[in-house]
C-alpha cells in the first residue's frame, strides 16, 4: 500500500478574493484609459494640424546694374557672405572711358558757358557803340537839315546857287539814310544782346543748365563706374551660382542668389474646411522632418493667403466643363518662426514641416487690419554716396570757370533711404509711413514685430 497522499484541491472560498482583485485592476486600467482619452480629446480638440507645409524664405537675386565682363567671383555656393561684401567684379574699362568722356564734356561745357557770359559784355559794349554812332549820325543829319533850310531861303533871294542847294539836299538825304541804318544796327545789337542774355539770366557759370546737364552725366558715369562691383545686399548663404569668369553679362541677368536663413517662414497649406478656425496671431508648434519630433519650433500665424493654390496656378481649373469631381482646396497660411530657434537649428528652403496650430483663441482676425508701418526689408549697400563725384564736378568747374572756389549748386533728387530704425528719410514717404503708423500696429503687424525684426541691411 502506497503512503502518497492525494493532491489538495483549491478552496473556492479562498480563491474568491484573488478574482475580485483582478476585476479591480481591470476597472482601474479602464478608468485610466478613459481619463487619458478625455485629456487627449480636450488637449487636441483645439489643435488643427497639417503635414502639407514647407519652409520658405527670401532668395535675393544678384543681378548687375550694368553690362560687363566678369573679372572676379568672390563667393561660391554654400559660402556665407556679409552685407556689402563684394560678390562679383566686372571689367571697369568701358565705364572708365565713359567717365573720362563725361568729365571732358563738362570741362568743355563750362568754357562754352563762360563764353556766353563774356558775350554779354561784348554785346553790351557793341550796343553802346551803336548808340553813340546813332547819336553822331543824328547830329550830322540835324546839321544837314539846318543847312538845307538856310540855303532854301538864300536860293529864293539868289544868294546861293541851285547847284549848291541840291548838293546840300543830297547830303541831308545821305545823313538821314545813315541815321536809319544806324538805328537798325542799334536794334540788331539790342536784340542780339537780349538773345544772349536769355541764355544766362538768373544764373551763373556753375548753375547754368548746360553745366548742370554735363555735371549729371558725370554723376551717371561715376555711378556706372562704381557699379562694376556687385555687393551682397544682405547677410546670407550663396546659392545657385551660374556666373563664370570671363562671361559677358547683361544688366539684370541673374547670376547667383543670397539666402538669409535666419528669416525663414513656413507656408502651411490647410484645408478649406480648417480655415474657419484660423486667426492671425494664433500660436503654432512645428517640427521638421530633418530633425524629427525631438526639435520643436514655435511660431505664430502671420496671415492667410488671398486665394487657393489652384486659383493662382499657371493653368487654373475649369470646373464648368466636363465631368466635375469636388476636390478639397488648400490655402497657404504663413507661419512666422522665432529667429533664435532658427539660429540654433537652421532650416533650408523647401524642407517639409508638420504644423499644429492652437485655435482655442478665436478672437483674432483673419485679415490684416492695416498696412505695414515700415518697409518689409531694407538695405543700405546700394546707397551710392556720390560725394566723390560731387568733388570731381566742383574741381572741374573751378578749373575751367576762371573763378577758383566755384561750387556746383545742385542737389540730388530725394531718395527713399531707410535709416537704422527702418524709417524712410524722405518727406513724402515719411508722412505716408507716419500716417500708417498712426492707425496702430495690431493683428499681423504685432506678430511681425515679434517674429520678424527688421534691422538695417537685413530681412
Residue-level pLDDT, tens digit, the chain, 459 residues: 445 555 555 555 444 455 677 778 787 888 877 766 665 555 455 899 999 999 999 999 999 999 999 999 999 999 999 999 999 999 999 999 999 999 999 999 999 999 888 888 888 888 888 888 888 888 888 887 877 776 676 766 666 666 776 777 788 888 888 888 888 988 888 888 888 787 888 888 888 999 999 999 999 999 999 999 999 999 999 999 999 999 999 999 999 999 999 999 999 999 998 988 999 999 999 999 999 989 999 999 999 998 888 888 888 777 777 777 888 889 999 999 999 999 999 999 999 999 999 998 888 888 888 888 888 888 888 876 677 888 889 999 988 877 654 444 444 433 333 333 333 343 333 333 333 333 333 444 443 443 443 333 343
Res 289: pLDDT: 93
Answer for the pair 342, 287: CB distance below 8 angstroms, yes or no: no
Res 9: pLDDT: 53
Look at residue 152 and tell me if it is in a domain. Answer: yes
Answer for the pair 329, 383: CB distance below 8 angstroms, yes or no: no
pTM, to two decimals = 0.67
Res 146: pLDDT: 78
Supply the range of the domain harboring residue 163.
Answer: 96-203
Using CA atoms, how far apart are residues 83 and 181, in angstroms rounded to an integer?
75
Q: Please list, in sequence order, all residues whose beta carbon lies within 8 angstroms of the beta carbon of residue 374, skipping any fewer than 6 positions away.
A: 422, 423, 433, 437, 454
Res 249: pLDDT: 96
Look at residue 228 and tell me if it is in a domain. Answer: no
Res 299: pLDDT: 95
Res 412: pLDDT: 42
Look at residue 104 and tell me if it is in a domain. Answer: yes
Using CA atoms, how far apart are residues 415 and 426, in angstroms rounded to an integer?
6
Residue 134: count other Cβ atoms within 10 Å of its Cβ.
20
Look at residue 169 and tell me if it is in a domain. Answer: yes
Res 322: pLDDT: 72
Look at residue 43 and tell me if it is in a domain. Answer: no
Answer for the pair 238, 79: CB distance below 8 angstroms, yes or no: yes
Look at residue 405 and tell me if it is in a domain. Answer: no
Res 71: pLDDT: 96
Res 450: pLDDT: 39
Residue 263: count other Cβ atoms within 10 Å of its Cβ.
22
Number of structural domains in the chain: 1
Strand partners, 156: none
Using CA atoms, how far apart are residues 40 and 300, in angstroms rounded to an integer?
23
Look at residue 110 and tell me if it is in a domain. Answer: yes
Res 144: pLDDT: 79
Res 331: pLDDT: 93
Look at residue 338 and tell me if it is in a domain. Answer: no
Answer for the pair 172, 147: CB distance below 8 angstroms, yes or no: yes
Using CA atoms, how far apart are residues 298 and 266, in angstroms rounded to an integer?
11
Amino acid at each position: 500500500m502506497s503512503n502518497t497522499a492525494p493532491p489538495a484541491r483549491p478552496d473556492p472560498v479562498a480563491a474568491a478574493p484573488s478574482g475580485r482583485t483582478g476585476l479591480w485592476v481591470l476597472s482601474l486600467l479602464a478608468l485610466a484609459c478613459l481619463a487619458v482619452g478625455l485629456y487627449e480629446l480636450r488637449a487636441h480638440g483645439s489643435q488643427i494640424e497639417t503635414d502639407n507645409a514647407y519652409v520658405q524664405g527670401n532668395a535675393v537675386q544678384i543681378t548687375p546694374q550694368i553690362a560687363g565682363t566678369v573679372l572676379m567671383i568672390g563667393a561660391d555656393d554654400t559660402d556665407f557672405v556679409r552685407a556689402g561684401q563684394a560678390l562679383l567684379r566686372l571689367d571697369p574699362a568701358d565705364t572708365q572711358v565713359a567717365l573720362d568722356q563725361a568729365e571732358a564734356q563738362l570741362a568743355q561745357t563750362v568754357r562754352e558757358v563762360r563764353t556766353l557770359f563774356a558775350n554779354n559784355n561784348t554785346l553790351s559794349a557793341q550796343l553802346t557803340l551803336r548808340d553813340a554812332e546813332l547819336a553822331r549820325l543824328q547830329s550830322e543829319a540835324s546839321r544837314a537839315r539846318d543847312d538845307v533850310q538856310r540855303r532854301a531861303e538864300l536860293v529864293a533871294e539868289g544868294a546861293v546857287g541851285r547847284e549848291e542847294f541840291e548838293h546840300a539836299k543830297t547830303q541831308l538825304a545821305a545823313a538821314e539814310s545813315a541815321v536809319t541804318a544806324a538805328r537798325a544796327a542799334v536794334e540788331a545789337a539790342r536784340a542780339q544782346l537780349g538773345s544772349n542774355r536769355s541764355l544766362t539770366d538768373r544764373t551763373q557759370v556753375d548753375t547754368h543748365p548746360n553745366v548742370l546737364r554735363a555735371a549729371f552725366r558725370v554723376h551717371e558715369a561715376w555711378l556706372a563706374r562704381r557699379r562694376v562691383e556687385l555687393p551682397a545686399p544682405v547677410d546670407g548663404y550663396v546659392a545657385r551660382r551660374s556666373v563664370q569668369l570671363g562671361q559677358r553679362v547683361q544688366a539684370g541677368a541673374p547670376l547667383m542668389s543670397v539666402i538669409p536663413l535666419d528669416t525663414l517662414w513656413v507656408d502651411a497649406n490647410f484645408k478649406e474646411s480648417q480655415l474657419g478656425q484660423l486667426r492671425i496671431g494664433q500660436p503654432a508648434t512645428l517640427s521638421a522632418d530633418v530633425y524629427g519630433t525631438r526639435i520643436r519650433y514655435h511660431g505664430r500665424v502671420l496671415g492667410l493667403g488671398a486665394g487657393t493654390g489652384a486659383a493662382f496656378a499657371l493653368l487654373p481649373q475649369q470646373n464648368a466643363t466636363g465631368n466635375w469631381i469636388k476636390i478639397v482646396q488648400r490655402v497657404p497660411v504663413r507661419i512666422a518662426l522665432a529667429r533664435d530657434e532658427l539660429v540654433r537649428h537652421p532650416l533650408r528652403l523647401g524642407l517639409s514641416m508638420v504644423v499644429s496650430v492652437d485655435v482655442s483663441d478665436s478672437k483674432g482676425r483673419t485679415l490684416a487690419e492695416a498696412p505695414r508701418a515700415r518697409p518689409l526689408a531694407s538695405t543700405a549697400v546700394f546707397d551710392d554716396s556720390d560725394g566723390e563725384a560731387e568733388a570731381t564736378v566742383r574741381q572741374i568747374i573751378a578749373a575751367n570757370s576762371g573763378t577758383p572756389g566755384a561750387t556746383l549748386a545742385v542737389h540730388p533728387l530725394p531718395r527713399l533711404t531707410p535709416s537704422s530704425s527702418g524709417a524712410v528719410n524722405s518727406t513724402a514717404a515719411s508722412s505716408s509711413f507716419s500716417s500708417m503708423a498712426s492707425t496702430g500696429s495690431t493683428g499681423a503687424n504685432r506678430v511681425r514685430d515679434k517674429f520678424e525684426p527688421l534691422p538695417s541691411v537685413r530681412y
